[in-house]
Amino acid sequence: MKKTSTRLADGRELIYYDLRDDTVRGSVDRRPLEPTLTTSEIRRDALLGDVVAVASHRQGRTYHPPADECPLCPSQGGRPTEIPDSSYDVVVFENRFPSLAGDSGRCEVVCFTSAHDASFADLTEEQARLVLEAWTDRTSELSHLPSVEQVFCFENRGAEIGVTLGHPHGQIYAYPFTTPRTALMLRSLAAHREATGGENLFDAVLERELADKRVVLEGEHWAAFVPYAAHWPYEVHLYPKRRVPDLLALEEAARAEFPAVYLELLRRFDRIFDHGESPTPYIAAWHQAPFGRLEGFDGVTRDDFALHLELFTIRRTSGKLKFLAGSESGMSVFINDVPPERAAERLREVAS
């Protein structure tokens, strides 16, 4: 992998990740861009204890442009885009319309491929490994920023999810706090540790799931399963079998096996429903331990946390979406229409 860092016309950072070590990246962004102005603000809910990012400048972000105006394609035919070069393997750059900025964190865009009509599932294993290396590198770099406490790599795929750009891409959020969902996991870790005299909850969950009938896919170093209490109609959790706190700590054998396992999972998601439908909308979310001291969690350390990826779709059956209605949105109590055991069975049925 070769990494080349440069700047866009408005000062935002852009990084090329190339498969070939002899690739030269010298193209300059000559667009007449004004410096990016953001109004990101973090507000804490006194009753719930969680946080909300207020980012009114995002109202003007690019919204479903035609393919020939996509800002994530390479610059070709005299049309400048967010990527100055005429081709690329993987590119990461600071979001022009970030939800978090400055002391409130940082947001980046990850372009998986220059092919506009592709998806992550279309990548080769070599390309998918390069994306993994980019996620890992950005996690490392962002973790050293003084305002950052947690790094979240994720992909939203599909208009049903709310994606506003059709080009295959994901995002990275670098939060200045530990996210509420992670804090819940840490509290559960601490409670289980206390109740069992030191047992790790993630280890116990993984052991239980591997012994059950909800396993979807298992390799030498990775295991994928539909969790016992799945929130979404089709939801898979992907764990390295050796517990590590973040992408940085993944051993080489797990890195090498990841592309084949993950690509197979994504391809199965695209085969769940009728072939005539649009590709399955999904969210793929990496959960990593926060950086820095973990205070208030009764002796839990970063090494107690287990890196894992959660992949789920909001489509519950062909032509129907799972909406978060009264119970889910109002009280955070999910109602799942698809039994997790049946979801796992279906995901095994559509193996390639």
Please state, in angstroms and rounded to a whole number, the distance separating the CA atoms of residues 12 and 24.
20
pLDDT in tens, 222-255: 999 999 999 999 999 999 999 999 999 999 999 9
Pairing assessment for the beta strands 41-44 and 51-54 based on DSSP bridges: antiparallel
DSSP code string of 8-53: -TTS-EEEEEESSTT----------PPPP----EEEE-TTT--EEE
Q: Is 305 exposed, middle or buried (0-12, 13-18, 19+ CB in 10 A)?
A: buried
Task: List for the chain the helix, strand, coil content (%; round to 5).
Answer: 30, 25, 45
* Residue keyed to tokens 């116990």: 204
**Confidence (pLDDT) at 60:** 65
pLDDT in tens, 44-75: 999 999 999 998 878 767 767 898 999 999 99
Q: Is 319 exposed, middle or buried (0-12, 13-18, 19+ CB in 10 A)?
A: exposed
- Tokens representing 302 are 């970063």
Q: Give the count of beta carbons closer than 10 Å to the beta carbon of residue 94.
A: 21
pTM reported for the whole predicted model: 0.96
**Confidence (pLDDT) at 352:** 78
**Confidence (pLDDT) at 298:** 85
Q: Do the Cβ atoms of 137 and 17 come closer than 8 Å?
A: yes
Catalytic residue positions?
169
pLDDT in tens, 210-230: 999 999 999 999 999 999 999
Please state, in angstroms and rounded to a whole number, the distance separating the CA atoms of residues 230 and 210.
15
- Tokens representing 120 are 């992550």
